[in-house]
Each structure stands twice: as C-alpha cells, then as structure tokens.
Amino acid sequence: MNTTQSQDELSAARVDGALGFWEIARAQPYRIAVVDPAGAQTTFGDLLGRADAIACELLDLGFQPGESVAVLMRNEPLFVAVQLATSQIGLYLTAINWHLSVDEVTYIVRDSDARALFTGSEADLAGTATAAADAAGLAAHCRFASSAVPGFRDASSLPERDVDPAARQHGMSMLYTSGTTGRPKGVRKENPKTTPEAAVAESIPGRERRHGIKPGPGVHAVVAPLYHAAPNGFAISALHMGRPLILFDKWNPEEFLEVVEKYRVTDTHMVPTMFHRLLALPAEVRTRYDVTSLEAVVHAAAPCPVHEKWAMLEWWGPILFEYYSATEGGGTSVTAQEWVEHPGTVGRVWPGAELKILDADGRELPAGEIGGIYIRNSTSFEYYKDPTKTAEAREGDFFTAGDVGYFDEDGWLYLSDRRSDLIISGGVNIYPAEVEAVLLTHPAVMDAGVIGVPDREWGATVHAVVEPAAGCDASDALASELLEHCKSTLARFKCPRTLEFRVLPRTPTGKLSRAELRASIVGDSTRPPNQSSSGDSSR
C-alpha cells in the first residue's frame, strides 16, 4: 500500500468498515452484486463463492503469479467472477472481444500465453472458443464455460473452497489494443506484489477525486462490453465500492433510460456516441423517464462535441465527468463545473501523471500549439513480447497512444484527433473530429464519420460519411444541405468535398472504426462511391 496514503483516505475506501469486494462479500453476503441482462440477480456471497472456486481450481492446475488466463464472454456474472478470481491470485486476465474471428481470437490466446480459456454457452461463442482453443493447443482441463459446452468444463459446478490466504496476491488485466495497423498487442503493466485489498485502497480515492464516485450506496450500469478497458475498470471498481452492477448485453438509448429509472442507477461510464443517440430521441421519450437518480456519468474514448455536452448538461445537470486516458495509462480529468468554465477541454493532469505536447522531432511545444500527446505515469507498461512497438511509442519516459492535442495557457488539455486519422490536404492539417462535430449539429444527422481520400492535386481531400436521422431521406438535396452547413461554420479547406450516406462502422464500445471506414472506401477505389460533390475547388 502507498505509505503516503492517509488514514482518512483509507477509511473513505471502506463500505461499512469493509475494504473491497472480498471483505464486503463476507460481511454482507446477501447484498446484490450483479443483475444480468435478463434480470437475474447474483449476491455478493454467491459471486464470492464462484470466484473463490475458480481461483482454487486455477491454483490446483499449477498457475503461478504472472501467468495469464483468457476470457471470451458477453457481459454475464461468470465474467465478473473470473476477473475477481484472477485478481486475487496474481494472474493477468486477457478479455477478448467476442466479435473477433476464430483466427483473431486464436492469435490473442497464443500471444498472451493464456493457459486457460473461459467462455459463454451461446452457440456462436462456444464455436469460436472451441476452434480457438484447439488451434492454440489448450489442454481440455483448462477450458471452462458458464454452462454445458462440449469439450469445456462447467465453471458453475466447480466446488466452493476458500482461497489460501498465503496465495492471495493482486492480479491485473492485460488487454489488447485494437490498433490501426498490424496485429493488436497486449498492454502489460508491472504487477505490484501487494494484496488485493491494498490495491483497492490505493485506487478508490483517485476514482472519487476524478470521477465523483465514492464507496457506499449506489447502482452502477455497465452499458458497454466488459472486454473493453474503461467499462471493465469502472465496473470492478464499483463492486469494490459495494455497488451492484446492472449488466447490459447491447445498449439502446430508450432501454438505458428505462433501466436508470427501474434500478435507480447512480453512475455509469459512457461514450459521446451514446449522448448523441440519447439526444436524438423524441422529447416525449426523453422526458418520460425519471433519471434524477444519476449522480456521476463518466465519459471518454473520443472527443465529445461541445454542443452535445452542453445539451446533456442541460438535461441531466452538472453530473458529467470527463477524462482523457488510454489502455496504456492516463491522464487528465474535468468536472462538469470546470468544463463549463473551459468548454471543450478534457481536463487537467491528474495527480501521479505528467503530460507533454511534442512535435514530430520530440521537442516540447508551448501552450496553444498542436502536437502529439505524451504521458508519463508512476506505473510502467510494455507491449507484451513487442519491444519494437514499445520503443516506438516512447519518448524517454513518456509514451503516446497516438492522440493529438494542445494545452491552453492555464494547463487545460484539448484533443484534436488521432495522429493516424489526420488529413493533410495541400500541406494543411485537418482534424476529422472537428468536421464530424459540425456535421452532428445538423438535425438530419444521426451519425457522421470523416476521412481523407487520395487526390492528385491536394494529396488528400475531406470525405464525409453520414447516417441520416430517422425520417430523413438520403438524397442529393440533403447532401448539398449538409455541405453548405459545414461551409457556414468551418474554413473552406476543412469542409468535405464529397459526402455519401451509409451506416458507419462502430465498435460495440461506441468508437468509430475509422480504419474500417477508410478501407471500405479508399480500399476499393481512389474515389469514394455514391459521392455528391461540393463543387468547390478553391483552397
């Protein structure tokens, strides 16, 4: 435990005197821990029993601290149990995106050196898990499922036993970055040799300072897949704070409002796309549900259009907490009140982190100049088994996740975009997120994505892809209207030259897959299909 941590902070991390999930579960076993997407409830006591049974089985199989376990599973109680099991016996847990192909899952199982795989009982998952386990050469006794799956052991039938206190050691996640090129790589952080409870005590005070969530009464909604770093981290932290988790299988804006009202949800982690889709609901739907129980809605993962954040603050009040971070580390944070004073910021640097803005040659830039965002944390990381990629992401002790932004004179950070998404047209830098934010202000736009397409004269030009709002026709007239809308707000060189209508590829966590969008357009032709030209050739 951090020796500088005050007794007040330690006391504040406790729930009725209990520190972390395991102590809470023993003191209050009938407290509700998880509500699955079908509404079935699991208590803290039942979840503890399942997590301990899994931990003991892994120990019996010879697992040692520092080894890896993989999970390929939708949001369900067993996922949570596996994570609690590995996190109390010093193992790394690699949660795999269940949308991936067999080859992609096999690669991650192999690359992570996972010696066990847990999966769900759904036919599609079971088929993928079986094929991947076979290809990776996993032993039959190291394959587990949430119920009967041929070739897998039923994890729910493992005998309940108490974990030997001597074996208890904090374990961590090793999640794989999606990346834009090449194979994804596992982000492996140094695992401190401490107890699970000490790790909880270390992390909770920072959560409260940055995100307004503190131990005690409350309900946490898990609205995105647990294989993603942020929803996972916030969910497990909520359990350690004594809060039940309401698991979503697939997020839907009106269903979310229904769940908030039904369970009196107090906190959740969201992405800006969710805000956009909530705001697109008819007014009579938005006002139909009581959301006054919400106390802290944390958001990140992509720049949030300023006009949409203003609209959410007007609707929900000053309960939005934003931050900037990455799987590798972070970051900055900003409260609603601070954001109102500095619209568009993603916050100031939080304690224990350092940030710099560097140019392409590694020189630090002054306030107001856009460059690569580099971070230094107290905990180091490496891309597992890839020293070259680790070195490429570093500038001394600092690392970058590829994002671009700037500090203002008072130290508030503003994001511009990812460096890999930058459009250079006629030697001028254009940031897609800025153009997308303008398109999203038009009432006929449900979703928008912007990429650069090759151009012989300019090198690249701006191309927009729009998903029309309900009731709006994808017509040439609408395309022209949207292009004129951009011209009324943006400099001409930033405006789309071409625009098409289609559903945008987004990940289950709400992030726009710009690489997939770019491949579907530029990969087929040097000119985008179904385009409508703006007719403006001036610069």
Let me know if residue 255 belongs to a domain: no
Backbone conformation region of residue 380, classed left if phi is above 0, alpha if psi is from -120 to 50, else beta: beta
Average pLDDT over residues 391-414: 91
Let me know if residue 25 belongs to a domain: no
Structural domain ending residue among the three candidates 175, 193, 211? 193
* 279 C-beta neighbours (distance < 10 Å), count: 15
Of residues 398, 296, 304, the one with CA closest to residue 346:
304
Let me know if residue 346 belongs to a domain: no
Task: Give 354's strand partners.
Answer: 376
CA–CA separation, 425 vs 423, rounded Å?
6
The CA-atom distances, in angstroms, between 94 and each of 35, 64, 89, 210, 229 are: 23, 16, 15, 26, 10
Q: Contact at 8 Å (CB) between 238 and 66?
A: no
Of residues 332, 329, 311, 331, the one with CA closest to residue 320:
311
Let me know if residue 209 belongs to a domain: no
Q: Is the pLDDT of residue 479 over 90?
A: yes
The upper half-sphere exposure of residue 101, i.e. CA atoms within 13 Å in the direction of its Cβ, equals 2
How high is the pLDDT of residue 525?
37
Q: Is the pLDDT of residue 182 over 60?
A: no
Average pLDDT over residues 295-302: 88
Q: What is the share, in percent, of the chain residues with pLDDT greater than 90?
A: 59
Q: What is the CA radius of gyration of the chain?
A: 24
DSSP H or E stretch at residue 115: strand 114-119
Residues 6+ apart with CB under 8 A from 41: 32, 34, 35
Q: Report how many domains make up the chain.
A: 2
Would you say the C-alpha torsion 261, 262, 266, 271 has a positive or negative sign?
negative
Q: pLDDT digit string (tens) for 72-106?
A: 999 999 999 999 999 999 999 999 988 888 888 99
Q: Is the pLDDT of residue 269 over 60?
A: yes
Let me know if residue 281 belongs to a domain: no
Q: Is the pLDDT of residue 11 over 80?
A: no
Q: pLDDT digit string (tens) for 324-350?
A: 988 888 889 999 999 999 999 999 998
Let me know if residue 301 belongs to a domain: no
Identify the burial level of 357 via C-beta atoms within 10 angstroms of its C-beta, where 0-12 means exposed, 13-18 middle and 19 or more buried.
Answer: buried
Structural domain ending residue among the three candidates 176, 193, 210? 193
The CATH number of residue 64's host domain is 3.40.50.12780
Q: pLDDT digit string (tens) for 214-252?
A: 888 899 999 999 998 889 999 999 999 999 999 999 899
How high is the pLDDT of residue 535?
37
Let me know if residue 60 belongs to a domain: yes
Structural domain ending residue among the three candidates 170, 193, 216? 193
Let me know if residue 48 belongs to a domain: yes
Q: pLDDT digit string (tens) for 401-410?
A: 888 899 999 9
The CATH number of residue 498's host domain is 3.30.300.30
How high is the pLDDT of residue 112?
96
Three-state DSSP string of 159-176: CCCCCCHHHCECCEECEE
Q: Is the pLDDT of residue 428 over 80?
A: no
Q: Contact at 8 Å (CB) between 138 and 109?
A: yes
Token output for 279: 């705001």
The predicted model scores a pTM of 0.81
Task: Look up the domain containing 462 and give its range.
Answer: 422-533
Q: Is the peptide bond before 331 cis (omega within 30 degrees of 0)?
A: yes
How high is the pLDDT of residue 254?
96
Report which listed range, 88-92, 380-384, 412-416, 418-422, is most confident.
88-92
Average pLDDT over residues 46-60: 97
DSSP-derived 3-state class of residue 93: strand
CA–CA separation, 425 vs 93, rounded Å?
43
Q: Is the pLDDT of residue 307 over 80?
A: yes
Q: What average pLDDT is seen over the chain?
A: 88
User: 491 falls in which pLDDT band (50, 70, 90)?
Assistant: confident
Q: Is the pLDDT of residue 30 over 90?
A: yes
Quote the crossing angle between the two packed helices 229-240 and 77-86, to the nearest 10°: 80
Identify the burial level of 168 via C-beta atoms within 10 angstroms of its C-beta, where 0-12 means exposed, 13-18 middle and 19 or more buried.
Answer: middle
Q: Is the pLDDT of residue 287 over 50?
A: yes
